[in-house]
Amino acid sequence: MSKLRTEVAFVERNGRTLSKRTSYYENGQIAHIGLYGNGQGQWSWNVPVGLEKNYFENGQIESEISYSESGSKDGESNYYNKNGKLIRKCIHSKDILIEEQNFEEPVIEKIKLP
């Protein structure tokens, strides 16, 4: 994995200050985009809020994960392979997996018999 460079900006949303983080691979491709807030009683800005996107080094989307205002997985999350094909879809409610669909075809290995 390449070294990442991260840019941080502060944005206002619904009367709340959030940090928007954009990370880049060495090749300039975006690696990650997400909003973060501080949770109740927490001093750090590590609670994800809203839609978080992660990318492969080739620029293809790797995942889109939906978080609630409190930082729990909430709503639809999608996961992709390196070619951009949707391979998994999950629906969460307050970090509890409600539904999961896998679209990736199983790999069948051919075996030579004697």
Domains and CATH numbers, the chain: 5-102 (2.20.110)
What is the number of H-type helices and E-type strands within the chain?
A: 0, 8
pLDDT in tens, 2-17: 667 999 998 888 788 8
Compute the Cα dihedral for 111, 112, 113, 114 and give only its sign: negative
Ramachandran area for residue 84 (φ above 0: left; ψ -120 to 50: alpha; else beta): left
| Cα–Cα distance, 96 to 20 (Å, whole number) | 25
pLDDT in tens, 6-54: 999 988 887 888 889 999 999 999 999 999 987 665 556 688 999 999 9
pLDDT in tens, 80-104: 999 999 999 999 999 999 999 998 7
